[in-house]
């Protein structure tokens, strides 16, 4: 078959868009067959080394033979073996043994399938968090700079998606930052809470290893500790069934799903602001917004984040169902769905963080548009200030209130019924009743007087809450990402 036909043949099989279109190379590798099965082999080596150290008849020559074949996995031979045996672990035991004939008798000695399967999953989950956290830190860093830069730029606040008291562009960004900080804490905690399954045997009793060591329980305990340390973990779960508790998967997926909700909220805000033409995500010079409408600047990156975040948020339920339906020491109906769910959760989280990092590296703000929107709403919001100024100038509050009410309704009709600008201020200027305070109107309408402590809140929040967290990632900050599409 020609090279072009081989290339085209690849497109005849379904491939997950998370892998082919969106996720990073490092996260794809983390969940790849190469990483998975080479880790299995490393775990068999750790087990053999520990068993040799504790006195079993295993030689350094056997260990060296296994170490020389860690990465050269014959996937074709393994697939053929699995088709025959219907058992993935034994298929790889046989293939590894064929490559390591001297070590073949001691590969997987005393272990059950979950020794390699579950321990590898825990290694992969931990590595997944290691990949995600620096990306999250870069988003925090980008948004911190954005918040500080725009900390005193007034903008309309919105409650119920209706114009409300002013805030600032930077202060709104701190609301995004606060949620992301909670996600950083949750992801870090989930990662740090991960332990190693260790060497527990078929139902978690370590019976097979107790037999190997002629009933010496202390050696079995030491075996567990040694393999755990070789795998790079400080702790192992004290008790397991055949598997580690599937509650562990629940904890991991819960924090990833929660991250999904945060990113969805942030990107929804950006999409709404883009609709108002106040803030936009980056838009490249050659980018096409619409195949039919050349003028459009669709917020496609934010839309992608929302789309994949929704998928991510649904995956936690799968883990909850799995944890709830594990029978006694273990049932195999967790296997197929975990292959899908765990990988898709981490790849989805990877995608939305990469995309959000890209968005936050180039957010564009349009102050003139924001000012125009403020000008449309601020006159209504200043009514109380104008009344107070008139009272101070000797006016009657009730009379002033009625004057403002009538003029406000007239101005509102201009906006809603005739599509004109809000002219409440001009109506006030033309009404002789307000002559005593006309020289104060500009000050009363200054947006800066309506933002409270927002600028100070931004600085304080970043100094006290964000910066201490970012110090933990100093070596990773500033690493830009390039999206696949």
Alpha helix segments (H runs only) across 382-483:
383-392, 397-416, 424-430, 441-444, 454-461, 467-470
Separation CA 18–CA 30 (nearest Å): 13
Q: 111: helix, coil or strand?
A: coil
Query: Within 10 Å of residue 445's Cβ, how many Cβ atoms?
Result: 19
Separation CA 141–CA 356 (nearest Å): 12
Find out whether 211 and 223 touch, Cβ atoms under 8 Å: no
Give CA angle at 285 (352, 280), nearest 5°. 50
Separation CA 142–CA 224 (nearest Å): 43
Burial of residue 439 (CB within 10 Å: 0-12, 13-18, 19+) is exposed
Q: Which two tokens stand for residue 450?
A: 């309506």
Q: Which two tokens stand for residue 375?
A: 């000008």
**List of residues 6+ apart from 469 with CB closer than 8 A:** 137, 140, 181, 184
Among 91, 45, 50, 104, smallest CA distance to 70 is for 45
Choose, from 2, 11, 160, 480, the residue flagged as catalytic. 160
Would you call 290 a catalytic residue per the annotation? yes
Choose, from 68, 290, 412, 467, the residue flagged as catalytic. 290
Give CA angle at 478 (474, 481), nearest 5°. 130
Find out whether 31 and 17 touch, Cβ atoms under 8 Å: no
Q: 239: helix, coil or strand?
A: coil
Would you call 113 a catalytic residue per the annotation? no
The DSSP H or E segment spanning 155 is: strand 154-159
**List of residues 6+ apart from 83 with CB closer than 8 A:** none
Among 184, 166, 107, 174, smallest CA distance to 144 is for 174
Find out whether 197 and 244 touch, Cβ atoms under 8 Å: yes
Separation CA 106–CA 64 (nearest Å): 13
Active-site positions? Answer: 160, 290
């Amino acid at each position: 078959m020609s090279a072009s036909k081989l290339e085209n043949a690849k497109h005849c099989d379904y491939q997950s868009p998370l892998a082919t279109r969106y996720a990073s190379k490092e996260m794809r590798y983390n969940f790849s067959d190469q990483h998975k099965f080479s880790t299995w082999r490393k775990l068999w080596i750790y087990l053999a080394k520990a068993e040799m150290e504790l006195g079993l008849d295993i030689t350094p020559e056997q260990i060296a033979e296994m170490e020389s074949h860690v990465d050269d996995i014959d996937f074709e031979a393994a697939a053929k073996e699995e088709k025959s045996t219907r058992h993935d672990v034994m298929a790889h035991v046989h293939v590894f043994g064929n490559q390591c004939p001297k070590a073949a008798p001691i590969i997987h000695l005393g272990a059950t399938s979950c020794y390699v399967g579950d321990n590898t999953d825990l290694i992969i989950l931990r590595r997944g968090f290691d990949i995600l956290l620096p990306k999250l830190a870069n988003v925090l860093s980008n948004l911190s700079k954005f918040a500080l830069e725009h900390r005193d730029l007034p903008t309309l606040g919105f409650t119920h998606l209706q114009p409300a008291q002013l805030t600032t562009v930077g202060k709104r960004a701190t609301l995004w930052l606060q949620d992301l900080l909670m996600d950083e804490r949750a992801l870090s905690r989930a990662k740090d809470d991960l332990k190693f399954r260790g060497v527990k045997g078929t139902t978690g009793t370590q019976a097979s290893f107790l037999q190997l060591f002629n009933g010496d329980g202390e050696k079995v305990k030491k075996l567990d500790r040694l393999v755990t340390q070789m795998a790079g973990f400080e702790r192992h779960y004290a008790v397991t069934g055949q598997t580690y508790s599937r509650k562990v998967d629940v904890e991991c997926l819960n924090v990833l799903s929660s991250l999904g909700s945060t990113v969805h909220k942030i990107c929804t805000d950006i999409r709404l602001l883009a609709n108002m033409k106040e803030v936009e995500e980056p838009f490249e010079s050659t980018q096409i917004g619409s195949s039919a409408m050349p003028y459009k600047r669709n917020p496609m990156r934010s839309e992608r984040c929302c789309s994949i975040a929704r998928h991510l948020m649904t995956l936690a339920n799968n883990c909850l169902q799995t944890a709830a339906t594990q029978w006694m020491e273990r049932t195999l109906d967790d296997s197929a769905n975990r292959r899908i769910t765990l990988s898709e959760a981490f790849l989805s989280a990877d995608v939305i963080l990469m995309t959000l990092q890209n968005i936050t590296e180039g957010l564009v703000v349009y102050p003139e548009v924001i000012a125009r929107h403020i000008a449309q709403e601020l006159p209504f919001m200043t009514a109380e200030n104008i009344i107070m100024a008139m009272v101070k100038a000797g006016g009657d509050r009730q009379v002033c209130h009625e004057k403002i009410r009538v003029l406000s309704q007239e101005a509102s009709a201009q906006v809603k019924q005739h599509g004109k600008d809000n002219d409440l201020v001009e109506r006030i200027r033309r009404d002789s009743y307000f002559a005593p305070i006309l020289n104060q109107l500009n000050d009363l309408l200054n947006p800066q007087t309506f933002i409270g402590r927002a600028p100070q809140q931004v600085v304080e929040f970043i100094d006290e809450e964000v910066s201490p967290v970012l110090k933990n990632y100093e070596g990773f900050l500033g690493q830009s990402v390039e999206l696949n599409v």
